[in-house]
Structure 1
Amino acid sequence: MSLALRLTGAEVLRPGGRKAGPLSFAEGRIVEDRPGLREVDLRSYMILPGIVDIHGDGFERHLAPRRGAMKDLSLGLRAAEAEIAAGGITTAVLAQFYSWEGGMRGPEFAERVFAAIGALRDQVASTLLTQLRFEIPMLEDYGAVADMVARHGIGYVVFNDHLPHDELEKGKRPKRLTGQALRIGRNPEKHLEFMQGLHARMGEVPAALDGLIEALVARGVRLGSHDDKTASERETWRARGVGIAEFPETAEAVEAAHLGGDAVIMGAPNVVRGGSHNGNASAAEAVMMGYVDALASDYHYPSLRRAAFLLADGGVCDLATAWGLISAGPARVLGLTDRGTILPGQRADLVVMEPKSRAICATLSGGRVSYMSGDVAARFVG
């Protein structure tokens, strides 16, 4: 049920910064101040726009907390949604692999995940969107991917290539191949043969990509490339109509994407850790240069709010700008014009936070409670 309330006493993070004053919402939308609504006193708290997570695969650990423990995906997705809401995320893009790696990253599992998300979507307050992460060497699956996108209404596709081409080209056995094969129940030699076959046909990929991209663009699907390493890689993707650079690995690729007018997404864990865990470009430095449009949770949902405050506390940018990288910025990249800021007419996607501890005390998505605890919960029901 969507609430109709007037929140008073709190500092509210609006586009121009933090300002004290009442905040009213009704029928799922923020409205001009409306004194007649039931009031909730939130003095000593802060209200911020709901977080929009543009790419997160942290839900995987809820689907399979142990190997093989993934019979009922709906239970795992409900647990993931609870974590998402507790993290202040009101709109979450759940990123699912479609990969030659098989198992939880294989096509069959992707079908199950997208079906389960579709079934759950109307039962939870959080907005759950989907992203398909497609491994481009899988030439035999291009038609199946287009069909999957259409059937499940997937609005965002990202192109990956994690095949170890250098090792395969040299005839070497890729690292971790045996463990990877056994984990998905495949004979290691058959798995190697499969990977070699994919590598051998890479020359056919560009033409196949052009056809798939044309079909996806016609459906209005947003398209991104993953882990660009060079400016020329990004320019090639841009020429194909792929305008989102997701986690570019080098400063060169980040700069090329930004200067070319592409949307740049970096990982919030990169900011929290003080750099990439595998030596890639620094997200904080890219933010400082003004090159980043959005931060994503990647594999860790709590990193989003932590990253925003680390950037603000460190003087990289002010809090409104930093929080915009996890709210208005990703909403803009996704074309979601109705969220990301606290303004009349926008969705009532709100986070109530205790300023000193920065603990999230309540999350409302479209005016519906998705998470609430402690003193704030008492104030709402009191």
Structure 2
Amino acid sequence: MNEQVYTNYRLQLPHKEVLGTLVVRDGLIADIQPGVVNHGQNGQGDYLLPGLIELHTDNLERCMSPRPGIRWPLEAAAVYHDRDLASAGVTTVCDAIAIGDIAAGSPRLSNFAPMIDVISQGQKTGRFGVEHRIHLRCELACEDVYESTAQYADNPLLSMISLMDHTPGQRQFIRLDKFKEYYIGKHGMSPAQIDEFVLIRQQKQQIYAQKNRKALVEMSQAKNISLASHDDATIEHVQEAVEDGVAIAEFPTTLAAAKAAHQSGLQVLMGAPNLVLGGSHSGNISAMELVLQDLVDVISSDYVPQSLLQSIFIIAHKTGKPIYEAMRLFTSNPAKAIHLFSDRGTLEVGKRADLITVHDDSVVPRLMTTICQGRRIA
């Protein structure tokens, strides 16, 4: 029997905080009791929370291409990515892998297959510390996005599919000036090139988007894969998502869309970088504005894994909520969204010992340890 004892921690239980002791046996939470014992790891009053559950991170792409034009060895990039997540307090991750892109020649058009393979192999062989799952981000205006996605429909790691449409003039980029600013900066296009690019993308959206959306929705429903909409901007977008059986509304761009999604029972997902920075880099709705109205259900790190933990404490400070309430957006709610709540997402006897310990000095909270199924990984 393998046993660890964590004592003198502020345990963040589902509905209260308890200064107490948590016992792990064979990778599961075996006991939780108030009070301090004289053996085990003494937390000196630090926080002990469930491990964070990440539904949407592009961090693997960053590790593969740390600078423009650089391609890092894929196996090494995947391990770096895993280490980044462990050091951010993540114990379960849905790696967001894009299928299709609106930019011709984008690495995303060919990178998805090796990325899926390296995650699948790493998980199978025990190379990773964090539990990795797959989230396929499907760009609807790309001609063959359905065919590319369908070949992974039976992959046991596939937990989530998001329906994306980054066509200029709508959703995330409803403001064309913001779209042009982003793509001129990212791809070095001239004003004439960006105008042509916008026209071509809008034409392709008219041809392919609706057909691909219908096929992907049918596949997700048949395979019981959690489905997400992306960058909903209008009530009509949300109504379409509800009709399609969407469970998660990723990054709604307006207050109206966020309200409609929340009221319709969708899990509203917003980005932690938006919280840390105090607003959206695309000029869309502030995540904190939605949090203050209780319209957010899940927080994702998007492109900065370390932003997750900090955002728990930002939310608690801004709203006055205790940590055990603020953390639900990072633990139990994402677990429920991808059908994993039965064995993780809360500190309860019988669940996986996915834990993090945190020291807060009221400046930036510091992760002290990350434990996945009873094994320390950071």
Q: Same fold (TM over 0.5)?
A: yes
Over 3 Å counting, the alpha-carbon distance change for 1:69 and 1:207 in structure 2 is closer
2:110 alignment partner, SS class? helix
1:36 and 1:200 mapped to 2: Cα distance? 65
Structure 1 unpaired stretches of 5+: 372-382
Counterpart in the other structure of 2:26: 27
After TM superposition, the score normalised by the length of structure 1 is 0.85
Over 3 Å counting, the alpha-carbon distance change for 1:257 and 1:52 in structure 2 is same
Following superposition of structure 1 onto structure 2, how do residues 195-210 of structure 1 map, counting pairs within 5 Å? 196=200, 199-200=203-204, 202-210=206-214
Counterpart in the other structure of 1:377: none
Counterpart in the other structure of 1:363: 370
Counterpart in the other structure of 2:345: 340
Whether the 8 Å CA contact 1:16–1:320 is kept in 2: the answer is yes
Pairwise CA distance, 1:277 = 2.1
Over 3 Å counting, the alpha-carbon distance change for 1:104 and 1:119 in structure 2 is farther
Whether the 8 Å CA contact 1:163–1:195 is kept in 2: the answer is no
Is 1:146 the counterpart of 2:150? The answer is yes
99-108 or 85-94, which moves further after superposition?
99-108
1:157 alignment partner, SS class? strand
Counterpart in the other structure of 1:226: 230
2:360 and 2:200 mapped to 1: Cα distance? 54
Over 3 Å counting, the alpha-carbon distance change for 1:200 and 1:138 in structure 2 is closer
CA deviation string 1:268-315 (max 9, x = no partner): 111111222222112122122221111000111111111110111123
Counterpart in the other structure of 1:106: 108
Pairwise CA distance, 1:243 = 2.5
Whether the 8 Å CA contact 2:231–2:251 is kept in 1: the answer is yes
Amino acid at match of 1:272: V
Is 1:283 the counterpart of 2:287? The answer is yes
Whether the 8 Å CA contact 2:146–2:212 is kept in 1: the answer is yes
CA deviation string 1:27-66 (max 9, x = no partner): 2110125999972222232211111111111232211112
The count of corresponding residues between Structure 1 and Structure 2 is 361
Whether the 8 Å CA contact 1:93–1:128 is kept in 2: the answer is yes
Whether the 8 Å CA contact 2:142–2:204 is kept in 1: the answer is no
Over 3 Å counting, the alpha-carbon distance change for 1:290 and 1:71 in structure 2 is closer
* Identity level (%): 27
1:201 and 1:265 mapped to 2: Cα distance? 25
2:109 and 2:250 mapped to 1: Cα distance? 22
2:233 and 2:198 mapped to 1: Cα distance? 26
Counterpart in the other structure of 2:355: 350
1:37 and 1:89 mapped to 2: Cα distance? 29
196-205 or 155-164, which moves further after superposition?
196-205
Counterpart in the other structure of 1:375: none
Whether the 8 Å CA contact 2:141–2:207 is kept in 1: the answer is no
Following superposition of structure 1 onto structure 2, how do residues 126-275 of structure 1 map, counting pairs within 5 Å? 126-151=130-155, 153-164=157-168, 196=200, 199-200=203-204, 202-275=206-279
Over 3 Å counting, the alpha-carbon distance change for 1:343 and 1:37 in structure 2 is farther
Whether the 8 Å CA contact 2:358–2:369 is kept in 1: the answer is yes
1:314 alignment partner, SS class? helix
Counterpart in the other structure of 1:119: 121
After TM superposition, the score normalised by the length of structure 2 is 0.86
Whether the 8 Å CA contact 2:168–2:201 is kept in 1: the answer is no
2:198 and 2:151 mapped to 1: Cα distance? 23
Whether the 8 Å CA contact 1:3–1:368 is kept in 2: the answer is no
Over 3 Å counting, the alpha-carbon distance change for 1:197 and 1:342 in structure 2 is closer
Structure 2 unpaired stretches of 5+: none
1:347 alignment partner, SS class? coil
Amino acid at match of 2:50: P
1:265 alignment partner, SS class? strand
Over 3 Å counting, the alpha-carbon distance change for 1:33 and 1:148 in structure 2 is closer
Following superposition of structure 1 onto structure 2, how do residues 64-103 of structure 1 map, counting pairs within 5 Å? 64-98=65-99, 99-101=101-103
Counterpart in the other structure of 1:5: 4
1:308 and 1:197 mapped to 2: Cα distance? 38
Whether the 8 Å CA contact 2:7–2:22 is kept in 1: the answer is yes
Pairwise CA distance, 1:344 = 0.3
Whether the 8 Å CA contact 1:6–1:38 is kept in 2: the answer is yes
